[in-house]
Amino acid sequence: MTPGSAWRGFRHDVIVTGVHIPEAGDLDAMLSAVDQLPFIVILFEGPELLTVGANAATRAVLPGREVIGRPCREVLSDLAGQQFIDVFHEVYRTGETVAGRQWRVHLDQPDGSVNEIFVTFTIMPWRAPDGSLRGVIGAAFDVTEMARIRQAAEAETAQLRRRYEQTLDVITELQRELLPPGLPVLPGLQVAASYLLADADTAAGGDWFDAVARPDGRVALVVGDVVGHGITASGAMGQLRAVLQERLDSDASPGEALAAADRFAGRMGAAHATTVCLAVLDPANGELTYCTAGHPPPLVVASDGTTRFLPATGGTPLCTGGVFPVRQDRLEPEDLMLLYTDGILERPLSGSSPSAELARVAADAAAGRALRDSGTTATARVCAQTIELLVRAGGHADDITLLAVQRVSVAPEMIIELPADPAALRGTRARFGEWLTALGAAEHDIFVLQHALGELATNAVEHAFGDTPPGGDPDRTTIEVRAALTAAGRVEATVTDHGGWRSPVREPIRGRGLALTAQLVESLRVEPGAHGTVVTIRHPLSRPARLLTSFDDAPSVREAPAEMSISELPGDEEAHVRVDGPVDATSALQMQRELLRRSRGGTVPITLDLTGVSHLASAGVSALYRIAEQHHEQKAQLTLIASAGSPARQILDLVGLPVTP
């Protein structure tokens, strides 16, 4: 294609309508110059946007196409879904220029392949000498190489960012492993803690907290701060925490424990100038012994809402003098004490008195005057809301650790007498759960202990009273359940019956209760006797602390149904069934019969969703084994579904029944 043929409309315009008519040689030279421009130039004329000009750069990116005299939609048909054609027509309609930067373009090639280029373009109105709109001019630079360089740089930056974030994740995970997995639940105390990592792009640092239940019933509370961030600070923190925990667990005084940590820190450069606040509290009488080794002193929020900071003891940071004097104080009933690191005080936008601001916000949170988080303890509110309210406006430059403890009334021992009737067991589980919740037990421990106690009570009902005639001694037709929280933070629960051991007379879907209980709790002891059997379980209680990288939304809690229900889900030839609610000694046989009915005696494959099961007793496990055996005999598939962390999944994993994730 010659330059003249490529610029038909432009040649006609210059020759016919131009004010000055150049010589033909001059016109050809001008058109040749335009044709040699190193960027894309294309002209469209009239409402149909007929192509009247396209320079060599344009023809190069549109090889093999008939261009001149054909409408834009036909010439650029492969761009129909890429917005360009719409832009050309929009410019002609409005007379307004449109520009774009590094747009990605896919162009069909004669061999069937697709050429990807990037263009930076300007599409402008083409006006006649009288100002009327004649068409549209498109000009574009092929910036593919520049875009590829940008993409490569962005990809490299993203990869480096991912590596950096993975490094931070490793350090954060290390921090989680080095901090205590939970806080003890103790009689007469509520304990809570929160740890908030510094603002984004800062690795976890050397802050830590600890609460150690001592053999004498007292509790040691520790908050410390190793200088710096990263793996070195986290490693030093973990070692110092281990030294202090070992000494405090061995009944060392605060001064003795800190002296041992000081000696250890002297052999580890990263621990130099670590600050620590260590307090030992007796929940029974409120006596408090504490030391501030270069650390901010504790804050006390009294039961009447007044606040006071305990006097600093004059102790030195580790490796800076080895002076650790202690002071005495006392917490009254309902008083709350807060230990913290200086990250909560050294905020970028903190006021002239950050300590006074901390005291005010903590008092409001303790009294429930701040955010309305119903159902939480005062210590949990102080640890969560104080951080949120103080840092949400101006952020925080350092990690923040809060550890709160409050003297509360000692929960009384739980004593329940119930008839030897399986129907009474469900109410006992509920009462036990309420008692554990009042102690401050975590959800997992409540699940474990409810399950274990339910198994033991079921065993007593099933096995212990077969020889008691109707109307016999009422003491021999009841069982007693007792539970108490020990000074060491362990629940000790007993189930006592007054009958003689016997084999169950019902359909035998039982027999796994004690074995399952032994896997769930820390210890199990069975003491049979001539006048009955006493079964004792012990299990430690702990509550998780909050380790945050940002503020977490409270998880929603779905109310578990009180009765078991079985519902059919859509399916083809296979049965799909969902079970919700408790599957215990009362409902297990009903579930077994119903599922075998729906699977036609095990001859039809069945998928059983147990995610909604709130309690899966050993009777339910036995029923599932019977159903599985029936399907195996009939060569039909049984698929069990239970989401990770659900009550049913925890039990199924313990007993070895295969579950589909």
Contacts of 79 by beta carbon, 8 Å cutoff, 6+ apart: 85, 105, 107
**DSSP SS3 for 112:** coil
394: exposed, middle or buried (C-beta count within 10 Å: 0-12, 13-18, 19+)?
exposed
pLDDT higher than threshold 50 for residue 555: no
Kindly state the tokens that stand for 132. 């009327």
The first and second tokens of residue 71, run together, are: 């409408």
CA pair distance 519, 650, nearest whole angstrom = 11
Residues forming beta bridges with residue 638, ordered by sequence position: 606
Nearest CA among 124, 99, 119, 122 for reference residue 107: 119
Other CB atoms within a 10 A radius of the CB of residue 259 amount to 17
- pLDDT-based confidence at residue 349 (cuts at 50, 70, 90): low
**Interacting residues of 12 by C-beta distance below 8 A, sequence separation 6+:** none
Q: What is the mean pLDDT of residues 603-622?
A: 87
| Domains in the chain with CATH codes | 3-142 (3.30.450.20), 179-407 (3.60.40.10), 414-543 (3.30.565.10), 560-655 (3.30.750.24)
- In angstroms, rounded to a whole number, what is the distance separating the alpha carbons of residues 359 and 365? 10
Of 501, 493, 461, 502, the residue nearest 479 (C-alpha): 461
Q: What is the DSSP letter of 298?
A: P
Confidence of residue 22 (pLDDT cuts 50, 70, 90): low
Instruction: Tell me the residue type at 19.
Output: V
Question: Which 3 state secondary structure label does DSSP give 210?
Answer: strand
How far, in Å, CA of 63 to CA of 321, rounded? Answer: 83
Q: Which residue has the tokens 């059997």?
A: 533
User: pLDDT-derived band of residue 19, with 50, 70 and 90 as boundaries?
Assistant: very low
β-strand partners of 45: 50, 135
The pLDDT, as a whole number, for residue 558 is 45
In b/e form, how buried is each residue of 552-573, taking b as 16+ CB within 10 angstroms? eeeeeeeeeeeebebeeeeeee
pLDDT tens digits for range 411-440: 899 999 888 787 788 888 889 999 998 888
DSSP state of 341: -
Radius of gyration of the chain (CA): 39
CA–CA distance from 198 to each of 226, 229, 236, 297, 399 (Å)? 14, 10, 18, 22, 4
CB-based contact 426:584 (threshold 8 Å): yes
171-181: pLDDT as tens digits = 566 666 677 87
Confidence of residue 23 (pLDDT cuts 50, 70, 90): low
3-state secondary structure of 232: helix
Listing DSSP states for 536-588 in one string gives EEEEE-EE--EEESSPPPPPP-PPPPSS-EEEEE--SSSEEEEEEEEESTTTH
Q: Count other Cβ atoms within 10 Å, centred on residue 424.
A: 17
Judged by DSSP in three states, 496 sits in: strand
- How many other CB atoms are there within 10 angstroms of residue 91's CB atom? 24
- Give 473's pLDDT tier (boundaries 50, 70, 90): low
* pLDDT per position as a tens digit, 202-227: 555 688 999 999 888 899 999 999 98
Q: If 0-12 CB within 10 Å is exposed, 13-18 middle and 19+ buried, where does residue 598 land?
A: middle
Pairing of strands 183-184, 189-196: unpaired
pLDDT digits (tens, 9 = 90+) for 233-288: 878 888 999 999 999 988 899 999 999 999 999 988 888 999 999 999 999 999 99
pTM over 0.85: no
The answer on pLDDT for 654 being more than 90 is no
Mean pLDDT of 152-180: 69
Side chain identity, residue 10: F
Distances (CA, A) of 7 to 35, 77, 336, 407: 9, 21, 88, 92
What are the residues facing 289 on neighbouring strands?
280, 328
pLDDT at 16: 36
Rounded Cα distance between 313 and 258, Å, is 13
